[in-house]
Amino acid sequence: MTNPTENKIYLPSQEVIDQANIKEYEELYKFSIENREQFWANQADYLSWYKKWDKVLDDSNPPFYKWFPGAQTNIVHNAIDRHQHTEVRNKLALIWEGEPGDVRSFSYHALNREVCQFANILKSMGVKRADVVTIYMPQIPEQIFAMLACAKIGAIHSVVYGGFSHEALADRINDANSRVVITADGGYRRGKVVEMKSVVNKAMELSPTMEICITVKRTNVDVYMENGRDYWYHDLVALPIAASKCDTEVMEADDTLFLLYTSGSTGRPKAMIHTHAGYSVYTSTTHRMVFDIKPDDRYWCAADPGWITGHSYIVYGPLMNGATIIMYEGAPTYPYPDRWWKMVERYGINILYTSPTAIRGLMRFGDSWPNRNDLSSLRLLGSVGEPINPEAWRWYHEVIGNSKCPIMDTWWQTETGGFMITPLPVTPLKPGSGTKAFFGNEIAVVDDDGKEVGANEEGTLVIKSPWPGMTAGIFKDPERYLDIYWSKYKKQGWYLTGDSAKRDEDGYFWIIGRTDDVIKVSGYRLGSAEIESVMISHPAIAESAAVALPHPIKGNCIHIFAILRNGYEASLEMEHDLINHVVTHMGPIAKPEAITIVDQLPKTRSGKIMRRVLKARALGLPEGDLSTLEE
Ligand code: WT7
């Protein structure tokens, strides 16, 4: 990032400033730090509460902070119910486009009806408050209805991304003790049917707790349905039990809204907990301020609801703000590489939020695809998931945003619930930097002792103050939560992000990447340990190490170094077989780019694999400090 043209600062146009909801950052930031609780109370007042809080923040037992204790709410009360009594009722909540070209749209009134019906069905299946319901679906409207239906009746949803294998799904079902799973027969991707119910069937065989599966028909693909266990959604919704009115459960502030599994450094994926009150306030506020939401906006977050981005910024944040959301089922390049740009034109989309991987993937088809569509409705753009390289940033800005749309490069995590470092539309932008901390947050780049590093020096990114969107911890494992996030800077009481970063002379943050063994492939978060444990389950493998190598489109790709057991020999065929093994057992999103068979792996004297050395070797870079190496 030393190319001088990259130091160009992009100032907001007068038009952007004129219409911005928040015109000034520094002063409000200062206020939000000096009066954190007041700031958040002001934001909470944008929402409707069954009962207001006794206190904004209970910090008597850090890091288990409690936000808005004493309050009663339900995120659905704010995302759907309260809109039924205003002009938002007749506004479109969702415009959905299937990959084959079918379109469905729902007003807030219709959304309420769909969610009530789904909620009544779940109730009739015995789903109660605090039960965990697993959702494994393609990107169809029913995925959103299912999430909201769970929240409405006080159940906890656990959405598992559709790109995971049946084993990964079963692991998550079992860890959460989930009794009910909601799925679809399949979905469309690149003109083909991706089967889902058949994956769920295999997962159910591995899940002793699983009793009921509700399947939405999307593709007509043949599926096996078992009597007493499997129900078609369209059959259930035709029954009197699926009434179109359903009361929303009154939830306590810190009641769990959802679990979302995410990968860490070691061990199995962990279920991060998010709760009704704090998460509602944080996602609605960040969405309103950063995307500068206007009543007429059509807003498209082109992520999958299966990830935190989808939870916070497809579903909950936008619906609480009464926005019209766009959802698309399939591949961005189907049938042609201008599918997204056609959608922008067709629906008059004002705000587009996506990932650097998607931008790079579309950029490689050239400017003619976007240029043949009218993208002039776009006002704001967003990026998330990994650092965006300045080249992709400029293409996004110039070609997609016609050099007039500010890009909101939002840094955050599954654990943080919402944006932590992000520009506002009026923030002067530097391509590749998420700019500054969102209101209320004190964020720093520090060394191992917690001392702030100098300008442009690399260090560890930490969050020094609590925020309402923060996770309430890891499901069933508070110790692991303390250990992973709060032990390194225990004395200071800071949250460890797992990222390294720099801060420049203007105080802008530049995220470098993960410092742990988390691998970000196309913005998706995977753990080395998970991939390695799948490798080891192959009969030919004695030991392996998965590392992230740079990739021009995906940002990173997975490269595995493996040692074979005696009696097995390295061959191209063996490599393919191992790649398939990882895909079958973890899912297509974990497909390794390459597997290199080696005789030994570099380890420390205590036996820890030095993945950093493997990475350096693969890239032909200096191997760094090898004093602890014992090969
Ligand atoms: C990790 C969290 C937050 C939604 C999607 C990812 C990386 C995220 C950015 C960004 C640079 C980013 C970090 C972070 N990351 N956004 N704008 N610039 N890096 O959530 O799957 O929990 O992953 O994604 O490394 O720690 P996640």
H-type helices in 333-438, by residue range? 339-347, 356-363, 368-371, 390-395
Alpha-carbon distance 496 to 119, whole Å? 38
Provide mean pLDDT across the span 604-618.
Answer: 89
The CA angle 364-365-367, to the nearest 5 degrees, is 100
3-state DSSP helix/strand/coil percent for the chain, to nearest 5?
Answer: 30, 25, 45
The greatest distance separating any two alpha carbons of the chain, rounded to the nearest whole angstrom, comes to 72
Q: What is the pLDDT of residue 421?
A: 98
Please tell me the distance between residue 289's alpha carbon and the centre of ligand 1 in angstroms.
20
Which of 272, 384, 589, when mutated, tests ligand 1's pocket best, judged by the most ligand atoms within 8 Å of its CB? Answer: 384
Q: How far apart are CA 94 and CA 85, in angstroms?
A: 18
Grade residue 330 by pLDDT with cuts at 50, 70 and 90. Answer: very high
* pLDDT band at residue 265 using 50, 70 and 90 as cut-offs: confident
**Which is higher by pLDDT, 232 or 620?**
232
pLDDT of residue 5: 52
Question: Residue 7: its pLDDT value, please?
Answer: 73
What's the gap in Å between 419 CA and the centre of ligand 1?
Answer: 10
Whether the per-residue pLDDT at 1 is higher than 70: the answer is no
Instruction: Give yes or no for residue 420 having a pLDDT over 50.
Output: yes
Residue with the smallest CA separation from ligand 1 atom 1 is 413
What angle is formed at CA 518 by the lines to CA 156 and CA 272, rounded to 5 degrees? 15
Test site for ligand 1: of 413, 430, 521, most ligand atoms within 8 A of the Cβ = 413
Question: What are the backbone angles phi and psi of residue 158, rounded to the nearest 5°?
Answer: -130, 100
Tell me how far apart the alpha carbons of residues 235 and 243 are, in angstroms, rounded to a whole number: 13
**Per-residue pLDDT band at 264 (split at 50, 70, 90):** confident
Mean pLDDT (whole number) for 8-35? 96
pLDDT band at 630 (very low <50, low <70, confident <90, very high): confident
* 555 alpha carbon – ligand 1 mean position (Å): 12
Residue 625 has pLDDT above 80, yes or no: no
Instruction: Residue 74: count other Cβ atoms within 10 Å of its Cβ.
Output: 25
Q: What is the DSSP letter of 307?
A: S
Which two structure tokens, joined as six digits, stand for 509?
A: 């943050």
Residue 356 neighbours by CB under 8 Å, 6+ apart: 383, 385, 386, 387, 388, 389, 392, 523, 555
pLDDT one-digit tens code per residue, 216-261: 999 999 999 999 999 999 999 999 999 999 999 999 999 999 999 9
Which residue's CA is the nearest one to ligand 1's atom 6? 385
Supply the pLDDT for residue 2.
45
Q: What integer best gives the mean pLDDT of the chain?
A: 96
Q: List, chain by chain if needed, residues with CB within 6 Å of any ligand 1 atom.
A: 262, 308-309, 384-387, 409-414, 434, 497-499, 511, 514, 520, 525
Percentage of residues in the chain having pLDDT higher than 70: 99
d(CA 201, CA 226): 9
Q: Whose CA is nearest to atom 12 of ligand 1?
A: 386
Convert the pLDDT of each residue in 181-229 to its tens digit. Answer: 999 999 999 999 999 999 999 999 999 999 999 999 999 999 999 999 9
pLDDT tens digit sequence for 64-117: 999 999 999 999 999 999 999 999 999 999 999 999 999 999 999 999 999 999
- With residue 18 as reference, give the H or E element that holds it: helix 14-19
Span 553-592, pLDDT tens digits: 999 999 999 999 999 999 999 999 999 999 999 999 999 9
Question: What is d(CA 30, CA 128) in angstroms, rounded to the nearest whole number?
Answer: 43
**Prediction pTM value:** 0.95
Residue 6 is predicted with a pLDDT of: 59
pLDDT at residue 45, rounded to an integer: 98
> Of 415, 418, 410, 513, whose CA–CA distance to 461 is shortest?
513
Nearest CA owner, ligand 1 atom 3: 413
At 362-400, the pLDDT tens digits run: 999 999 999 999 999 999 999 999 999 999 999 999 999
Q: How far apart are CA 147 and CA 170, in angstroms?
A: 19
Point out the ligand 1 atom lying closest to the alpha carbon of residue 518.
25
